[in-house]
Amino acid sequence: MAQPTNTFDTYDAVGIREDLSNVIYSVTPDDTPLYTACKKTKATNTIHEWQTDTLRSSAVNAHIEGGDTSAGAVTPTVRLRNYTQIFKNAVVIADTEEGVEKAGRKQEMAYQMLKEAREQKLDIEKALFENQEYIAGDSSTARKLAGLGAWIKTNESKGTGGAAPAGTGVDKRTDGTQAAFDQTKFDSVMESIWTNGGNPDRVYLSPFQMNKALDFTGNNNQRSTVQAGDSKVVKSLDVYVTPWGTVEFMPSRENRSRDVYILQNDMFNVAVLRPTKSVALAKTGDSTMRQILTELTLTSKNEAASGIVADLTTS
């Protein structure tokens, strides 16, 4: 039906209050599985150092009665290092902005600093996974920590032309020709880790590689009855059991999709020189500035306890 003549409706009205929800919705992921899983220790210098050691290979150990004893060669420990990296973000808010009434938050600075803290955690996660050697830095060059790609060398599956790093943080992995991720590659690295004494417990991989892992033998689609007339499709891989150990698969958004890391998680620490802290910066005008800063590095206690399936296709 037509509207009656001279009907005054919302299209004619002036002064209707806006209907703006007082909630801000965000779906941006901010989970950091590696950073969260790593034990946090204390760094007391920008150069964080530690030592590693290995046992000699087993040998036939039999001697005659009364024979003289001779000493074997002693192998010194290996001294390793990594440099702390400064993660820093700042927000500047005009003082007028803090004075006006806002929807979804009372204080703009508090809201923005919380957002920056979440974003900085993602930056840290990315750095820990990065195929990056350490950089000592100087007065004009920022220090950088050596990420996972610069440590794992002993247990690997790599493409043609690929090369492992020295495993001391001084260089990074050389990428090789990419090939599809499969169960054979994964199992061979698991066996190598076990042979070298490692006990891996977690696998970090991109969503694309996770889909490949879901097709490993024994983890194909399964149907299980929930109740009469209802059923569901189950395609999950919480843990993967092999003769060389049981590992949990953990999809990660921050590691390179071409790399699948098989880690013994307790062999990696995050050494923190300066814990995350928000501080006010000097006021220079009609605005307020705060920064949030964290300084830390990655400790690879012994890379032989972990492994990598590298140079994987990503599409």
Q: What angle do CA 37, 43, 48 make, to 5 degrees?
A: 100
Question: Among 6-20, 67-81, 145-159, which stretch is predicted with the lowest mean pLDDT?
Answer: 6-20
* In the block, residue with structure tokens 């974003």: 119
* The pLDDT of residue 7: 72
Is 196 a residue whose pLDDT tops 70?
A: yes
Is 220 a residue whose pLDDT tops 50?
A: no
* The pLDDT of residue 258: 97
Contact yes or no for 89/115 (Cβ under 8 A): no
* The pLDDT of residue 306: 97
Using CA atoms, how far apart are residues 120 and 88, in angstroms rounded to an integer? 8
* The pLDDT of residue 218: 65
Enumerate residues 6+ apart whose C-beta is below 8 A from 148: 128, 129, 130, 131, 255, 259, 261, 298, 300, 308
* The pLDDT of residue 219: 54
Using CA atoms, how far apart are residues 40 and 85, in angstroms rounded to an integer? 15
Tokens of 244: 């060389």
Tokens of 270: 């995050």
The pairing of beta strand 245-251 with beta strand 202-205: parallel
